[in-house]
């Protein structure tokens, strides 16, 4: 089997692209291949490259399993040429499993015992010839099967097993259930008089091909928690259709055959295929949940930084007070205090005095409030303080999901060994404003609050996918080599956790990096690792201005030649930024000129375009092009809301049933999927209209305004 050809057809990617990508994957990271080997892959992105890798591994596993199956069946003396070809032509593991099932070593069944005692020829006679069963059965009497009744039962078990192990029947039943089957749920008896979170599934039926993925996960969770009873159902006519494949034209034969088919259906076939259907449904639902989580995580990690702000960060709390920290524009921690402006203390006077002193002392120009417990009461205090003292300062809410996880982590203890966990949490909240990505990478992605049903999915697969997202975003944005933490550095292409610590140690000992190639002085960081990581690391005040771009050192000479053709040199990147920008934009819009330059510089079009883009915006941060977070200086309460009111809000989470929007009060609003206009993203600023308010449950229903 030509695996490369199979992968090519399945993913609709050209054969040469798949072949080249697989060769590159042997010695290179996915981000490096995607960014710096575009000519070889035909400009495939990270997702496509990983898909190629996954499918290739799947088919390799399939090929290896085929050899195991062939060897096993051959050792039983049952391998025919036809069976061998069937096995070799399989393209799915499930298909191969169905073929192998009758030959697989298993615990001895009733049918196996009947076959061992010589009843198989009688079962075949029953299926293919009109017989007087009682007369024929007498010929098969033996010590184990010493009566016609026992022989009848043994034969029915054999027929039932043949039916249950028939690959065509299994495939057909699976197809029937997925197309025409339905899921039926009800509460278990012990919960009939108890209200649970699964009330919607008390007496619930839905076709499998119509049920949303998130509902499947919810149902299976209810079953796992022992609240729900769940069945996969199929109308009787489909069972009869499958039975007809085994029934004969002889009425008397069919009586016993039907007995065998019912036995095989109830005890082997249907339970087995039902489990397979459940597995398919769960895997599909998991895939969708992980897809949504990954998409939301990517958008969260790309939250635009608010640069150059000196921040007062507040982690709100009731009884233990609000932890307040000051961090400078580089994220350096300066001071911390505790204030008590919310219940039960309500100490507005002292709290106001402390906050005003800190704002004045450090010339602060932004307040960041964690959006958890007591956040809206803290917001009221801050909004009133700004109003009372006519302060030229704004505040914003910061998603504090995962801050407590970080603050108690080993990493946080290493960063701030002498600070309490609550203070570390407040520092994390403030730093999320200045450089969200650098702070988010310190936290397990599952703790960042942008998924749905993340605890119900395959945890290994979830971790792998989320780690891939973090890796892709970090390398897409690029990392400042002179300020990055070890945790951020370890997501850079080619850099391990051990190497990331060595890089920071080198920086602390020798001072700032002046050029990328200094990395080669670090023990354990050789030419190959340097090749993989160099292009993703930035030096903003180095010896060579190209070091602040995404241009790889292997292409520095090409960049120099390109600049010199138009009368520039690398030092003009800063001095003549606008002239270079205008020149490069003209080249980029002229396909003929690009082709000529590609030949003259002996470099591929994709790589040339990337070099030009980096020269247009040297040191660019792709996050800067995204909308900035909403800043506030006033306050809105739930009581202020009215149906028809129009507001601006920030999308905080996206699910299959809609999007949650922070509109600046304690309760988030929900835009149901039917009220969305097109695709939306985490952190997107949206205009919304309130269409319904449930004052008892404090639910706010919104619709998007174009």
What is the pLDDT, as a whole number, of residue 371?
A: 85
Annotation: CATH topology of 110-181+234-292: Tex N-terminal region-like (1.10.3500)
| Closest CA relative to residue 157, chosen from 230, 79, 257, 35 | 257
CB 288: neighbour CB atoms within 10 A?
19
Pairing of strands 699-704, 669-672: parallel
Extents of the domains making up the chain:
3-103, 110-181+234-292, 311-475, 497-625, 638-704
**Strand (E) positions, 429-521?**
479-480
CATH code matching the domain that covers 638-704, chosen among 2.40.50.140, 3.40.50.10470, 1.10.760.10, 3.40.50.720? 2.40.50.140
C-alpha separations of 145 from 121, 156, 157, 241, 578 in Å: 14, 13, 13, 32, 95
Q: Which residues of 620-657 are buried (b: 16+ CB within 10 A; e: fewer)?
A: bbebeebeebbebeebbeeeebeeeeebebbbbbbbbe
CATH code matching the domain that covers 3-103, chosen among 1.10.940.10, 3.40.50.300, 2.40.10.120, 1.10.10.650? 1.10.10.650
C-alpha separations of 387 from 233, 310, 346, 358, 371 in Å: 63, 20, 18, 17, 21
What is the pLDDT, as a whole number, of residue 502?
A: 97
| Closest CA relative to residue 466, chosen from 303, 292, 214, 621 | 292
Annotation: CATH topology of 311-475: Nucleotidyltransferase; domain 5 (3.30.420)
What is the pLDDT, as a whole number, of residue 640?
A: 81
C-alpha separations of 34 from 44, 168, 499 in Å: 6, 42, 23
Residue with tokens 């149901």: 672
What is the pLDDT, as a whole number, of residue 166?
A: 96
Q: Are 232 and 280 in contact (CB under 8 A)?
A: no
**Strand (E) positions, 272-391?**
311-315, 322-327, 333-339, 366-370
Q: What is the mean pLDDT of each run of 10 residues along the chain (706 residues)?
A: 94 98 98 98 98 97 97 95 95 94 92 96 95 94 95 97 97 97 95 90 95 94 95 97 96 96 98 97 94 91 93 95 96 96 95 97 96 88 93 91 91 94 95 95 87 81 94 97 96 97 97 97 97 97 94 97 96 92 95 96 97 94 84 78 87 87 83 88 88 88 88
Cβ partners under 8 Å of residue 9, min gap 6: none
| Closest CA relative to residue 299, chosen from 451, 425, 430, 427 | 451
What is the pLDDT, as a whole number, of residue 400?
A: 87
What is the pLDDT, as a whole number, of residue 668?
A: 86
Question: Cα torsion at 184, 185, 186, 189 (round to 10°)?
Answer: 110
| Closest CA relative to residue 478, chosen from 491, 468, 465 | 491
Q: For 29, left (φ over 0), alpha (ψ -120 to 50), or beta?
A: beta
CB 38: neighbour CB atoms within 10 A?
18
Q: What angle do CA 142, 146, 148 make, to 5 degrees?
A: 115
What is the pLDDT, as a whole number, of residue 391?
A: 94
Q: Quick one: 497-625 is in which CATH superfamily?
A: Tex RuvX-like domain-like (1.10.150.310)
Q: In angstroms, rounded to a whole number, what is the distance separating the alpha carbons of residues 701 and 697?
A: 12
Q: Which residues does residue 537 pair with via DSSP β-bridges, in sequence order?
A: 479
**Distance, C-alpha 53 to centroid of its chain:** 17
Handedness of CA 164, 165, 167, 170 (dihedral sign): positive
C-alpha separations of 684 from 19, 324, 395, 553 in Å: 39, 28, 18, 36
Pairing of strands 366-370, 333-339: unpaired
Q: SS3 for 467?
A: helix
Looking at residue 513, what DSSP letter applies? -
What is the pLDDT, as a whole number, of residue 313?
A: 98
What is the pLDDT, as a whole number, of residue 529?
A: 98
Q: In angstroms, rounded to a whole number, what is the distance separating the alpha carbons of residues 315 and 426?
A: 5
């Amino acid at each position: 089997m030509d695996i490369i050809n199979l992968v090519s057809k399945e993913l609709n990617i050209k054969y040469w692209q798949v072949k080249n990508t697989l060769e590159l994957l042997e010695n290179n990271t996915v981000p490096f291949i995607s960014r710096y080997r575009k000519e070889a892959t035909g400009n495939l992105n990270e997702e496509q490259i990983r898909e190629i890798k996954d499918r290739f591994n799947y088919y390799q596993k399939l090929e290896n399993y085929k050899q195991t199956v062939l060897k096993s069946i051959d050792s039983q003396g049952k391998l025919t040429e036809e069976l061998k070809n069937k096995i070799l032509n399989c393209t799915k593991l499930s298909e191969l499993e169905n073929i192998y099932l009758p030959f697989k070593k298993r615990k001895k069944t009733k049918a196996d015992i009947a076959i061992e005692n010589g009843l198989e020829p009688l079962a075949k006679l029953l299926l293919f010839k009109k017989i007087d069963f009682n007369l024929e059965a007498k010929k098969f009497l033996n010590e184990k099967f010493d009566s016609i009744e026992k022989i009848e039962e043994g034969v029915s078990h054999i027929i039932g097993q043949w039916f249950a192990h028939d690959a065509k029947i299994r495939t057909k039943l699976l197809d029937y259930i997925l197309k025409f089957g339905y899921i039926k749920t009800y509460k278990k008896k012990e919960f009939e008089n108890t209200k649970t979170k699964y009330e919607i599934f008390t007496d619930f039926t839905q076709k499998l091909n119509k049920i949303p993925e998130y509902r499947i996960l919810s149902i299976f969770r209810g079953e796992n928690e022992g609240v729900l009873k769940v069945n996969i159902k199929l109308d009787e006519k489909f069972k009869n259709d499958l039975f007809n494949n085994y029934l004969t034209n002889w009425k008397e034969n069919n009586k016993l055959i039907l007995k065998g088919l019912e036995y095989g259906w109830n005890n082997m076939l249907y339970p087995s295929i039902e489990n397979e259907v459940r597995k398919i449904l769960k895997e599909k639902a998991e895939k969708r949940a992980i897809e949504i989580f990954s998409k939301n995580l990517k958008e969260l990690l790309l939250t635009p930084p608010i640069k150059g702000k000196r921040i007062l960060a507040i982690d709100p709390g009731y009884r233990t007070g609000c932890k307040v920290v000051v961090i400078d524009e580089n994220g350096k921690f300066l001071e911390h205090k505790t204030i008590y402006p919310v219940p039960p203390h309500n100490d507005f006077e002292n709290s106001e005095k402390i906050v005003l002193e800190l704002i004045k002392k450090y010339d602060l120009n932004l307040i960041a409030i964690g959006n958890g417990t007591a956040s809206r009461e803290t917001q009221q205090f801050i909004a009133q303080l700004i109003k009372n003292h006519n302060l030229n300062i704004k505040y914003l809410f910061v998603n504090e999901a995962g801050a407590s996880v970080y603050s108690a982590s080993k990493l946080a203890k290493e960063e701030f060994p002498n600070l309490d966990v609550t203070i570390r949490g407040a520092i994390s909240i403030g730093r999320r404003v200045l450089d969200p990505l650098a702070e988010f990478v310190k936290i397990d992605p599952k703790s960042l609050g942008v998924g749905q049903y993340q605890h119900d999915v395959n945890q290994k697969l979830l971790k792998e996918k989320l780690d891939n997202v973090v890796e892709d975003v970090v390398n897409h944005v690029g990392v400042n080599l002179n300020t990055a933490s070890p945790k951020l550095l370890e997501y850079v292409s080619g850099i391990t956790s051990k190497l990331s610590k060595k890089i920071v140690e080198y920086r602390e000992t020798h001072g700032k990096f002046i050029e990328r190639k200094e990395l080669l002085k670090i023990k354990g960081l050789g030419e190959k690792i340097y090749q993989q990581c160099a292009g993703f690391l930035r030096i903003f005040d180095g010896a060579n201005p190209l070091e602040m771009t995404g241009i790889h050192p292997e292409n520095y000479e090409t960049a120099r030649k390109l600049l010199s053709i138009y009368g520039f040199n690398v030092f003009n990147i800063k001095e003549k930024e606008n002239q270079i920008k205008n020149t490069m934009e003209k080249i980029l819009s002229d396909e003929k000129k690009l082709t000529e330059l590609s030949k003259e510089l002996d470099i591929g079009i994709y790589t040339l375009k990337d070099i030009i883009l980096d020269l247009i915006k040297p040191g660019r941060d792709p996050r800067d092009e995204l909308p900035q977070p909403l800043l506030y200086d006033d306050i809105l309460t739930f009581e202020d809301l009215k149906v028809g009111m129009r507001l601006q809000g920030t999308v905080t989470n996206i699910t299959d049933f809609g999007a949650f929007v922070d509109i600046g009060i304690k309760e988030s609003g929900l835009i149901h999927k039917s009220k969305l206009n097109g695709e939306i993203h985490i952190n997107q600023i949206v205009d919304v209209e309130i269409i319904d308010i449930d004052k008892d449950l404090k639910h706010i229903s919104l619709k998007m305004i174009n």
